Amino acid sequence: MENQRHFETLAIRTQAERTHFREHAVPLYLTSSFTFEDAEQGRALFAEEILGNIYTRFSNPNTSELVEKLCKLEGTEDGVATASGMAAMFISMAALLRSGDHIVASRSVFGSTHQILTQILPRWGIAHTYADLHRPESFQQAIQPNTKMIFVETPSNPALDLIDLSWLGEIAHRHGIILNVDNCFATPYLQNPARYGAHIVTHSATKFIDGQGRVIGGAVLGKKELIKEVRFFARHTGPAMSPFNAWVLSKSLETLAIRMEKHCANALEIAQRLASHEQVAWVKYPFLPTHPQYELARRQMRLGGGVVSFELKGGAQRAKKFIDALQMLSLTANLGDARTIVTHPATTTHSKLTEQERTAVGITPGLIRISVGLENPADIWQDILQAIEQSKEELEK
Ligand SMILES: *Cc1c(COP(=O)(O)O)cnc(C)c1O
């Protein structure tokens, strides 16, 4: 019965066991350790003959509840919650790879993931080759005899390019390679990479999963035997999520479905309005029929997501004027918040890349990224529209 329940129900009804107080909502377990009933139970817990909480670096009722819920929503067997999305990305690689191994990664990964691949993992003899989402065959071409992992984000940030996960899953299986998908942009509500063959699904819970810009967190989810290694690595190196953040994030998941429906509806409306404005050079959104991978997006994602990228006529200069003319929308580097956020990736989130690297992942100097929030879409559009007009006047001065 329970495994036939739907997404929203699982997100609400997956809950840590009630205490003798019979609380309705789950309490916050702020405790660094847990007591043993007697010497024998302490021994058995450490010997892993029985399962139970020992110390919050290993597990805690709040983090366990979050992981159990995320597993049900993603269709994965097991998982580990981490202090940040980057801790999740790092341990998913460091725990599963050895010196001499090789990763094939999409070129358009999150900035800090790029740093891990290019600056940190090579210290321990783990190499990588980048492949391009818009040339899927480049993934096959990049595979070497020592390739142990394929790492992708789909849709990519901020170019919103996709890759066919069932195609990639098949290639990974054929070569015996671990497919690791950072599913932060789509969230488990829009897309479940494990159902397409991904062995590992990684998350920054900081974005849409929290959804209200409050806490940092992450998770590594996947096959039992792989998560066993990730758990060993996390237990002894210590990137544990705090119980408080786990409590916040588990509560957030209760409203993920309803929030994503609204984020996506608002984003589609903003994308459509931008597409029909004569001052807009181009718009990219996975559920706009003009997106080059529209068919794939419809097949692979439930809805188009909460992020829209576009460029105004006048490029980088115009983008700056547009951003400065905004009155309500937030100027910050985060995304996936109830508040609509506008970012200029070329000078902020992706400024560490060279111009050439940015071009290769579709980040033009004038690209503007909007993480569309939950405000009334008419008000979001009103602010965008007045900033389009204001920036035109400014540029013509
Ligand atoms: C934000 C983000 C991360 C990093 O997550 P943090 O929680 O900030 O550490 C990783 N991947 C993607 C796609 C992200 O957007």
**93-111: pLDDT as tens digits:** 999 999 999 999 999 999 9
Tell me the per-residue pLDDT of 172-220, one tens digit each, with 9 for 90 and over: 999 999 999 999 999 999 999 999 999 999 999 999 999 999 999 999 9
Is the C-alpha dihedral spanning 264, 265, 268, 269 positive or negative? negative
266 plus 210 within the same structural domain: no
Percent share of the chain, pLDDT over 70: 99
pLDDT tier at 92 (50, 70, 90 boundaries)?
Answer: very high
Residue 357: give its domain's CATH number.
Answer: 3.90.1150.10
- Given a cut of 90, is residue 244 above it in pLDDT? yes
3-state secondary structure 2-24: HHHCCHHHHHHHCCCCCCCCCCC
101 plus 223 within the same structural domain: yes
- Given a cut of 70, is residue 350 above it in pLDDT? yes
The protein residue whose alpha carbon is closest to atom 6 in ligand 1 is 85
- Please count the structural domains in the chain: 2
Query: Mean pLDDT, to the nearest integer, of 58-83?
Result: 98
Q: What is the pLDDT of residue 113?
A: 96
According to DSSP H, which parts of the chain are helical? Answer: 7-13, 39-46, 61-74, 85-94, 111-115, 137-142, 165-175, 187-190, 224-237, 243-253, 256-275, 294-300, 315-325, 355-360, 377-396
Q: What is the pLDDT of residue 4?
A: 84
Return the DSSP state at 55.
B
Q: Distance, CA 110 to ligand 1 centroid (Å)?
A: 7
Which atom of ligand 1 is nearest the CA belonging to 88? 9
144 plus 260 within the same structural domain: no
- Given a cut of 80, is residue 86 above it in pLDDT? yes
Mutation test of ligand 1: which of 82, 90, 109, 110 has the most ligand atoms closer than 8 Å to its C-beta?
110
Mutation test of ligand 1: which of 92, 108, 112 has the most ligand atoms closer than 8 Å to its C-beta?
112
172 plus 316 within the same structural domain: no
Q: What are phi and psi of 81, to 5 degrees?
A: -90, 145
d(Cα 328, Cα 383) in Å, to the nearest integer?
A: 6
- Given a cut of 70, is residue 370 above it in pLDDT? yes
Q: What is the pLDDT of residue 256?
A: 98
- Given a cut of 90, is residue 50 above it in pLDDT? yes
Encoded tokens for 356? 């050439």
Question: Which among 253, 273, 290 is the end of a domain?
Answer: 253
CA angle 164, 166, 171 (to 5 degrees): 95
Residue 185: give its domain's CATH number.
Answer: 3.40.640.10
For the chain, how long is the longest CA-to-CA vector?
80
Q: Distance, CA 136 to ligand 1 centroid (Å)?
A: 23
C-beta of residue 165 within 8 angstroms of C-beta of residue 196: yes
Q: Distance, CA 258 to ligand 1 centroid (Å)?
A: 22
d(Cα 18, Cα 27) in Å, to the nearest integer?
A: 9
221 plus 288 within the same structural domain: no
- Dihedral, CA of residue 17, residue 21, residue 24 and residue 27, to nearest 10: -70
Class of residue 62 by CB neighbours under 10 A (exposed 0-12, middle 13-18, buried 19+): buried
- Given a cut of 70, is residue 380 above it in pLDDT? yes
Q: What is the pLDDT of residue 2?
A: 62
81 plus 184 within the same structural domain: yes
C-beta of 216 in contact with ligand 1 (< 6 A): yes
- Given a cut of 80, is residue 279 above it in pLDDT? yes
- Given a cut of 90, is residue 352 above it in pLDDT? no
240 plus 368 within the same structural domain: no
- Given a cut of 80, is residue 363 above it in pLDDT? yes
- AA identity, residue 369: R
Question: Which among 253, 282, 313 is the end of a domain?
Answer: 253
275 plus 161 within the same structural domain: no
Closest C-alpha to 384, from 308, 320, 328: 328
132 plus 270 within the same structural domain: no
Q: What is the pLDDT of residue 305?
A: 98
pLDDT tier at 3 (50, 70, 90 boundaries)?
Answer: low
Q: What is the pLDDT of residue 77?
A: 98
247 plus 283 within the same structural domain: no
Query: Mean pLDDT, to the nearest integer, of 291-314?
Result: 98
Question: Which among 231, 253, 275 is the end of a domain?
Answer: 253
Q: What is the pLDDT of residue 162?
A: 97
142 plus 184 within the same structural domain: yes
The protein residue whose alpha carbon is closest to atom 11 in ligand 1 is 110
Residue 239's domain spans which residues? 2-253
C-beta of residue 220 within 8 angstroms of C-beta of residue 92: yes
Q: What is the pLDDT of residue 138?
A: 98
Look-up: residue for tokens 């981490």? 82
Residue of higher predicted confidence among 397 and 45: 45
Q: Distance, CA 42 to ligand 1 centroid (Å)?
A: 37
d(Cα 202, Cα 113) in Å, to the nearest integer?
A: 12
Look-up: residue for tokens 């999963």? 209
283 plus 236 within the same structural domain: no
For residue 129, the cross-strand partners are 104
pLDDT tier at 397 (50, 70, 90 boundaries)?
Answer: confident
